[in-house]
Amino acid sequence: MVGPGLFILCAVFPLLSRADVTETTFAASNGAPIAQPYAWSRAGPSGPLLLQDFPSMDLLAHFARERIPERVVHAKGAGAHGYFEVTHDMSNITSSKFLSSPGTRANVTVRFSTVGGELGSADTARDPRGFSTKIRTDEGNWDWVFNDTPVFFIRDGAKFPHFIHTQKRNPQTHLKDADMFWDYLSLNPESILQVMYLFSDRGTPDGFHNMHGYSGHTYKWTKSDGTFYYVQTTILRDTGFKTLDRVTAGTLAGTNPDYGTQTLFEAIEAGDYPTYTVYIQTMTPEQAEGFRYNILDLTKVWPQNIYPLQEIGKLVLNKNPENYFAEIEQLSFAPANMIPYIEPSADPVLQARMFSYPDTARHRLGPNFNQLPINCPLFEPANFQRDGWGTIFSQGSRPNYQSSIQPLTYQANPGWIYGEGCAGGEACDYERRRNHENFLGAAYRDLSEFTELDLEQPRGLWAYIWNDTQRAATVGNLAAHMANIKNVTIANRQLSIFTAVNKTFGDSVASALGLPTVDPLVVKNISEAVKFRAYIGYSLNVSVIEGTSNLQEIAYDDYYRD
């Protein structure tokens, strides 16, 4: 390890803040003591200020550069530190060392956020919430970049910037625009399940720390013998998902826009530590191929009565940041940050996020963002990434290329594939690897299409999961927002999607808006849905999905648990 004295800032979690520093003598940025911070050298009592007063000039110059670019999404947020503890041996699912020893603890930092608003926006706005966790393990940082809903609006990676633009401000008026908002959603009906979640009272959680978290994406947990499971992760708040009604959330947005930030900080300060239980759902590759829905589809859930939750650990938040900017604003997450035996699936939105998240960190924080104390791993990585803005440590005298002068040690990541065999010469199930790792097919421009299959889970949510009170709240929330639509064609197009889910649903929203009822959206037959084929991901040879589903059987009631 090079420079252990310097690297201790990263390696020791309690030193993330410098609260231990007791020296309080006021000094300039170069360390020279200054007697009067408010005084400025000038030419006599009435003369001009002198440019030679370096501390004062330096203060103004630094002040003009205090702000960094805000996150393009998830700009408004709050966070805390704590720990994740493994409670169950998961060696039957993965060969991850971290997950195989119950009682193992790792320090974490969690950031909660809204998605569409700017830094000064309200914590109680109707918006999905981010729930991101950085787990500092002995084998690297593992980032869970989750949301508070199990699905999202899109399943095509290229749609993300378009969608986010519609959640931001109109380029002409610089105002939030209901026509833009609903124009996009009505033109992309695969968003319907997330729309229903968003406009239920789940869209306005009671504070950041009183909600659940979901991976949404499918990951792969691998074993040293070459086998693996497809996995989704769920974080459930131990005291339940608490919500605000539309009126209360709107009132708080005006009277206390930092409500979520305040209640999180005050709860931890009072010793009322937020606690969560972490679960996974698993599928074998064979189960994935037989699953009614595509496991790579971010707009679908895995029914918990078919793929039950399995506990893996506990998450506890017990320490507030000492400095918000250093520990929360400079915090970065990336779905690409994984540890050995944890891998991404071919989910196209996940694949896009794996590039986008570290890239936005480079924009916000510079190319060496992973050297910041809040982001760096427990141990200094030895590699060939050198120099650039914001370099904190540059690996000393080691050559910046693969060298025989000061050779590095190369240790195979046993969770990765290195050709036809397994790392370390172990036997493995090569046939399964061949079928589920080699993506064979012509390159083409892929874009998903909406079919009857996409209406099944929204229909189950409306008919079997929500009670009358929840249905009425959702209709009221939708009507309150859609009343701002100026273009009736857009409103009718969205109403046709609601009507395709359930006629009573669509008619109720239309009635609340004072609009005529509309016919349901005409969609493609279920036989045209693309079925998951692991050996090439999305199959060009579309497989017919036979029959109709039992909506009550696939109802994912536990997703709506308190």
Supply the residues annotated as catalytic.
74, 147
- Residue 100 · residue 90 · CB < 8 Å: yes
DSSP string, 29-55: TTS-B-S-TT---BSSTTSPBPTT-HH
DSSP string, 464-511: IIS-HHHHHHHHHHHHHHHTT---HHHHHHHHHHHHHH-HHHHHHHHH
Tokens encoding 220: 């792969």
Q: Residue 129: which of 69, 180, 219, 198 has the closest Cα?
A: 198
Q: State how far the Cα of 206 lies from the Cα of 191, in Å rounded to an integer.
A: 24
Q: State how far the Cα of 273 lies from the Cα of 314, in Å rounded to an integer.
A: 12
DSSP 143: E
- Residue 327 · residue 288 · CB < 8 Å: no
CA dist 36 to 27, 41, 224, Å?
A: 10, 11, 64
Q: State how far the Cα of 18 lies from the Cα of 274, in Å rounded to an integer.
A: 25
- Residue 162 · residue 455 · CB < 8 Å: no
DSSP 329: I
83 is in an annotated binding site: no
9 burial level (CB within 10 Å; 0-12, 13-18, 19+): middle
**CB within 8 A of 10, min separation 6: which ones?**
371, 373, 376, 377, 378, 380
> Which residue ranges are tagged as binding site?
357
> Which residue ranges are tagged as binding site for heme?
357
